[in-house]
Amino acid sequence: MIHWTIGQGVPKYLEQHARSVVKKIIKCSPVLHDLRIVLVGAYTYPSGLDMVCGEFASPHASEATPTIYACVFSSGERLSHITDTICHEWGHYEQYRDRKPLVEGSDIEQRTRRLMEAVERG
């Protein structure tokens, strides 16, 4: 089951897009745990660059639920940035779910690409 937390400063259209992305991902990548997704609003970079950063946190002593964090830095957020961030962090959830090491590299690139394709197909 997905549990959402939406922070202050996250525009409604970005929240709706993130929810839509996750619905599409779930069709090809089952959720076997409670999974928390946290969208956090941030600030605009002075240069006007659009950026999104993300993190996957696996359960440990202080965090009982696997969690995907996406921090939105927006000066006119492009939806593709959010899609890419969620797919990348979902790839780390898959590593956790599949009991694989949580690492960057070719495995996460392949997982991200597969998830991005699933989102594009709908």
pLDDT (tens digit per residue) in 57-84? 888 755 678 999 888 765 555 788 889 9
- The label of the residue with tokens 């690139």 reads 109
- 110 sits in which H/E element: helix 106-121
H-assigned helices in 31-78: none
Domains, the chain, with CATH or none: 2-121 (3.40.390)
Structure tokens that stand for 119 in this block: 């989102």
Q: Which residues pair with 34 in a beta bridge?
A: none
Give the model's pLDDT for residue 32: 93
pLDDT (tens digit per residue) in 4-36? 999 887 888 889 999 999 999 999 999 999 999
Q: What are the backbone dihedrals phi and psi of residue 38, each rounded to the nearest 5 degrees, phi first?
A: -115, 120
For residues 45 and 28, the model is more confident at 28
**pTM higher than 0.75:** yes
CA gap 106, 110 in Å, rounded:
6
